[in-house]
Amino acid sequence: MYEIIEKEELGASIKLIKIQAPLVAAKALAGQFVILRVHEEGERIPVTIADFDRAEGTITCVFQEVGRTTKELGTFEAGDCLKDFVGPLGVPSHIQNYGRVACVGGGVGVAPVYPIARALKEAGNEIISIIGARTKDLIFWEDRMRAVSDELLAATDDGSYGRKGFVTDLLKEIIEDKGIDLCLAIGPLPMMRAVSDLTRRYGVKTVVSINTLMVDGTGMCGCCRVTVGGETRFTCVDGPEFDGHEVDFIELARRSAVYKTQEKVSLDLYEEKGPRHDHQCRCGGEE
């Protein structure tokens, strides 16, 4: 069991948990993720590592409550334990001195951008960070991002904070004003697709981090497959980072929505009846 030692509300439905997991923390690197289960009957969900502290033996995860599992996870408090916490998984971010790097985080995507931006800064890059969200209540970690950036810009769709508009509006200005050597973008699929479409026009290499459905996290089940450059890749072992100009975002969006109906049914049941309402006894006895 993996104990949650800290919990924080970062914004409307965005929560942070710090988990005691010394073996995972000892190996974690920027860009990697974990797969967790909230309890014995819970589904396995991938969550990107937002921070790690080797001395403390902890991993920090940030998530937004959108479906049943994330809502259930949101009810966990410091002192509660997760059933499983497997990682670190995935290929770490490739860190080198590229020159000037734009780090773009959309919504909860700011959390995984942070450790990568920090590592890129430590490698000598000039970091221009752009954080964006639908509205002010969904902006978080501006202070952390500012601490690892040479410049930080914010945008909200409704104009309630920073520039009114999208991260792509700010990114376009940066590219045209100063030019960049690399763009890192993490956030909702439409955002990563829009960023990739924009940077393709300017010939700027772009890395996106993809959060697909996952089951085993070891390249065996095929659940996380994604087409990149016309080839089938597995997000869990080949990713989560890919060349944004090569990702088939249309297919990815379709695959991500495959279980939408079931997810809605599960969430409705959870909200109506609470956790474990649909427990099926697997030992053959009467419930």
Binding-site annotation, residues: 62-64, 221, 224, 236
Q: Identify which of 186, 215, 237, 243 has the alpha carbon closest to the alpha carbon of residue 50.
A: 186
Contact window for ligand FES (CB under 6 A) among 50-58, 117-125, 159-167, 218-226: 218-226
Q: What is the DSSP string of 94-133?
A: -----SEEEEEEEGGGHHHHHHHHHHHHHTT-EEEEEEEE
The Cα 117–Cα 143 span in angstroms is 13
Q: Does 214 bind ligand FES (CB under 6 A)?
A: yes
Enumerate the known binding-site residues for FAD.
62-64
Q: Does 257 bind ligand FES (CB under 6 A)?
A: no
Could you tell me how many residues of this chain bind ligand FES (CB under 6 A)?
Answer: 12
Q: Does 222 bind ligand FES (CB under 6 A)?
A: yes
Q: Does 224 bind ligand FES (CB under 6 A)?
A: yes
CB proximity list for 150: less than 8 A, separation 6 or greater: 126, 127, 128
Q: Does 221 bind ligand FES (CB under 6 A)?
A: yes
Beta carbon nearer to ligand FES, 10 or 228: 228
**Among 29, 81, 215, 267, which residue sits at the site for ligand FES (rule: CB under 6 A)?**
215
**Among 30, 128, 236, 247, which residue sits at the site for ligand FES (rule: CB under 6 A)?**
236
Query: CA 37 → CA 73, 262, 270, distances in Å?
Result: 9, 18, 16
**Among 5, 81, 223, 267, which residue sits at the site for ligand FES (rule: CB under 6 A)?**
223
Beta carbon nearer to ligand FES, 22 or 222: 222
Q: Identify which of 234, 195, 193, 190 has the alpha carbon closest to the alpha carbon of residue 212.
A: 234
The Cα 24–Cα 225 span in angstroms is 24
Q: Identify which of 107, 73, 90 has the alpha carbon closest to the alpha carbon of residue 30.
A: 90
Q: Does 4 bind ligand FES (CB under 6 A)?
A: no
Please name the helix (run of DSSP H) or strand (run of DSSP E) that holds residue 61, with its range, or none. strand 58-64
Contact window for ligand FES (CB under 6 A) among 65-73, 217-225, 255-263, 273-281: 217-225
Q: Does 91 bind ligand FES (CB under 6 A)?
A: no
Enumerate the known binding-site residues for [2Fe-2S] cluster.
221, 224, 236
At residue 43, the 3 state secondary structure works out as coil
**Among 74, 217, 240, 244, which residue sits at the site for ligand FES (rule: CB under 6 A)?**
217
The Cα 226–Cα 209 span in angstroms is 12
Beta carbon nearer to ligand FES, 12 or 223: 223
Q: Which residues within the stretch 41-80 sit at the binding site for ligand FES (CB under 6 A)? A: none
Least separation in angstroms between CB 189 and ligand FES = 17
Nearest 5°: the CA angle 231, 237, 241 is 75
Q: Tell me which residues touch ligand FES (CB under 6 A).
A: 214-217, 219-224, 234, 236
